[in-house]
Amino acid sequence: MQVTFFTLTSAIITAISFINSINAAAVELRDSEIVTQERILEWISTTDANLTFIGDPITKRNIENTMVVYCSVRTVNVCGGACTVYNGGATCLNAPNTNCLSATSNVGFCNHAGCGGSCNQLSTCGVHLDGGFCYTPGTKSINVGP
């Protein structure tokens, strides 16, 4: 009976460890969700990146607008360098030299200008960076949907 108790205890500990590893993976995935306007504004207020603002003024935030931040440099897990902050509606953004981006809604990022070529969605980001950014090397344009 003692061997059975030991085997049962081992099985329970293994199952708990497995469940904890699944929960850890789920937490990691939550970090890659589409970010909020507040999170982008916090990033803007704390970054040392060189920022350029295009589109509507941030103070004129419309509920239908999408905010997109796209930058030229990835250093380890940090997105920075020369960054552009877009606030507005549906458009195709010319974004040469983009290596990472973040947005308040799902956007497409493409390897050719004019939102052409091969495109991927932010929601399916493969490499997640700090602050809700996604590593997007080779991006030449960003498709902001309605």
pLDDT in tens, 33-90: 688 888 888 888 888 888 988 888 887 667 788 999 999 999 999 999 999 999 999 9
Percent of the chain topping pLDDT 90: 54
Q: How far is CA 21 from CA 10, 13, 40, 128, in A?
A: 17, 12, 30, 18
- Which residue type does 50 have? N
pLDDT at residue number 22: 34
More reliable by pLDDT, 29 or 49: 49
37, 61 contact by CB (below 8 A): yes
Report the chain's mean pLDDT, rounded to a whole number. Answer: 80
More reliable by pLDDT, 96 or 56: 96
pLDDT at residue number 139: 97
Using pLDDT thresholds of 50, 70 and 90, give the confidence band for residue 28: very low
pLDDT at residue number 17: 42
Pair type for strands 134-144 and 78-88: unpaired
